[in-house]
Structure 1
Amino acid sequence: MGLTMTEFATSTAPADVVRRQYLASAAGDLAALRATLAPDVEWTEMAGFPLAGTYRTPDGVTANVMEQLGKEWDGWAAHDDTYVVDGGNVVVLARYTAVNKATGKRIDVRVAHHFVVRGGLIVRFEQFVDTALVRDAMVPDA
Structure 2
Amino acid sequence: MSDFDRPADVVRRQYLASAAGDLAALRDTLAPDVEWTEMAGFPLAGTYRTPEGVTSNVMEKLVADWDDWTAHDDNYVVDGENVVVLARYTATNKATGKHVHVRVAHHFVVRGGKIVRFEQFVDTAKVLAAMS
Q: Provide the TM-score with structure 1 as the length reference.
A: 0.91
The one of 85, 91, 100 aligned to 2:78: 85
Unaligned runs of 5+ in 2: none
Show structure 1 runs of 4+ deviating over 6 A: none
Cα separation, 1, equivalents of 2:21 and 2:94: 18
1:61 matches 2:81? no
What is the deviation of 1:124?
0.1
Deviations 1:111-136 (A, max 9, x none): 00000000000000000000000000
Alignment of 1:28-107 (within 5 A): 28-107=21-100
The one of 1, 9, 31 aligned to 1:16: 9
Cα separation, 1, equivalents of 2:26 and 2:87: 17
Cα separation, 2, equivalents of 1:57 and 1:138: 28
Percent identity reads: 81
1:108 matches 2:101? yes
1:112 aligned counterpart, secondary structure: strand
Q: Which amino acid aligns with 2:59?
A: M
RMSD: 0.8
Cα separation, 1, equivalents of 2:33 and 2:5: 17
